[in-house]
Amino acid sequence: MASLKIQSKHAAPTEIAADVLAVGVVATGKKGDFGPAVAALDEALEGALGKAIAKEEFTAKRGQSVEVQTLGRIEASVVVLHGLGEAEALKGDGIRTFAAKAARSAQASKATTLALVVPEVLEKASRTIGEGLELGVYRFTKYFTGDRVPKSSLEKVTVVPATKPTAEWKKQLELGQKIGAAINHTRDLGNEPPNTLFPASYAEIAAKMCKENGIECKVFDFKEIQRRGMKLIQAVGQGSVNEPRFVHMTYTPTKKAKKKIVLIGKGITFDSGGLSIKPAPGMGDMKSDMSGAGNLIGFMQAIAALEPAVEVHAIAPLAENMPDGKAYRPGDIWGSFDGKTVEIVNTDAEGRLLLADALAYARALQPDLLIDNATLTGACVVALGANCSAFYATTDEAAAAFQKAVEAAGENMWRMPLLEDLRDQVKSDVADVKQAGDRMGGSITAALFLREFIGDQKHWIHVDIAGPAFADKAFGWSPKGATGHGVLTFLALVEQAAG
């Protein structure tokens, strides 16, 4: 559910009452030319804004800001200018970041009301602005008590476009807020502690979201997982007191579906490494190893709001990877839903096992495009850094469509190669395949292992979100902690398919 009241109003910036008046400013390259809104504000503030601009050497570069107290000379208490960069380079990510940063900084200053002045160049971006505002106010405060509970939060935003907003403009603003709220739901799951978010509780959350949004939801318990022969999910999950689950959510459009897309998300609700146990430093962050599955909740919630003419399936294999007397071991050989046998070489390479069974299950749906997303490998973070995901594709056609979606969403992802020279690394001497290859090229060999389970599915994309899924500091429109990275790209891909 959205946490903000967002409205739109066409009025002079000097007449808008708010704790903070945030103004988006486009860089024109002309000294002192920051548009009519800034000029009017500077006049009303008796030149104080112009002096601050000069002192801070503000040129409206992207990310620049300057703040001025109004001292009662206009209705707003504080004016903050946010640089947007040059209009030609301004895309969705910049617009979303502007709105998110404006909301985040206003909330940090304990403001309860914000007015966002939108320059004319952003007149068609109301949905993106709505997304950014809702994403920007996100905080995970569920477990704070006493003095730690925030005493105030941003409650109301008035978006001020350069021209009178149309009914469609307002509709898109509302849709953007719903999408932002859906991603914030995903963030909540990623930030939940593992003692409250485990396979069964995730399944309950998924079922509740689906019921509220008219989405079909099937949940397989551990007995059903075993009955169906999902042996790799069984292997990973049987070492925990919290038994595994398998969740399948389905959105069916009211109109004839133009395409069918299946998205899978890795759902390791806590990853101790199993018997190949992780070192203590950083293990607490392994509550985020369910981020791929977490993305599915926000994704499907947003799909319900978008109502695309595409049949969409979201599949979450869920387990805890824990070491006990029942835990699977290095050296084990397990069967799979696909039928292939798998040699286990490292119980800390568990996510790909869940995905393998899920991919084999999903391919029977015969989708036009099959995608999985997972916090899969540290090797991906080494290769691309903490703020960029890797994606792999079996066809250039699928890769091109996905790249177009990445660019539309403004998320940071990079195509990586499925190098056939490394395929021998996942061949086993004692089974059909082994679960992991050498340390070098680890993200690639993980993708090659997964490819073994897609059968004759032509178009498949694997997305390794290990870096950006959980952030150690806020950046762009993403907060510290769980980010929901990937959801906007997957939504863009579905919207492309809808035409």
Residues serving a catalytic function are 278, 352
**Cα separation of 229 and 222, whole Å?**
11
Rounded Cα gap, residues 108 and 111, in angstroms: 7
What is d(CA 428, CA 440) in angstroms, rounded to the nearest whole number? 18
Give the total residue count for the chain.
499
Phi–psi pair at 423, nearest 5 degrees: -65, -35
Contacts of 273 (CB under 8 A, 6+ apart): 283, 321, 323, 347, 348
Structure tokens at 450: 């997964």
How far CA 76 is from CA of 19, 116, 145, 337, in Å, comes to: 6, 11, 32, 62
Using CA atoms, how far apart are residues 277 and 415, in angstroms rounded to an integer?
A: 31
Encoded tokens for 223:
């007995």
Instruction: Tell how far CA 183 is from the center of its chain.
Output: 6
CA atoms within 13 A on the CB side of 214: 9
Cβ partners under 8 Å of residue 391, min gap 6: 399, 402, 406, 413, 414, 415, 416, 461, 462, 463, 464
Q: What separation in angstroms does the CA of 263 have from each of 361, 487, 489?
A: 12, 11, 12
Neighbours of 152 (CB within 10 A): 11
Q: Kindly give the pairing relationship between strand 433-434 and strand 342-343.
A: parallel
What angle do helix axes 487-498 and 291-306 make, rounded to 10 degrees?
A: 40
CA 236/CA 474 separation, integer angstroms: 33
Which residue type is seen at 431?
Answer: A
User: Which run of H or E residues covers position 470?
Assistant: strand 470-471
User: Is 111 within 8 Å of 19 (Cβ atoms)?
Assistant: yes
Q: How far apart are CA 65 and CA 280, in angstroms?
A: 40
| Residue type for position 463 | V
Token pair of 402, please? 């996905």
- Residue 81 tokens read as 């200018």
d(CA 134, CA 64): 21
Query: In terms of Cα–Cα distance, which of 175, 174, 258, 250 is closest to 214?
Result: 250
Match 């640089």 to its residue by tokens. 83
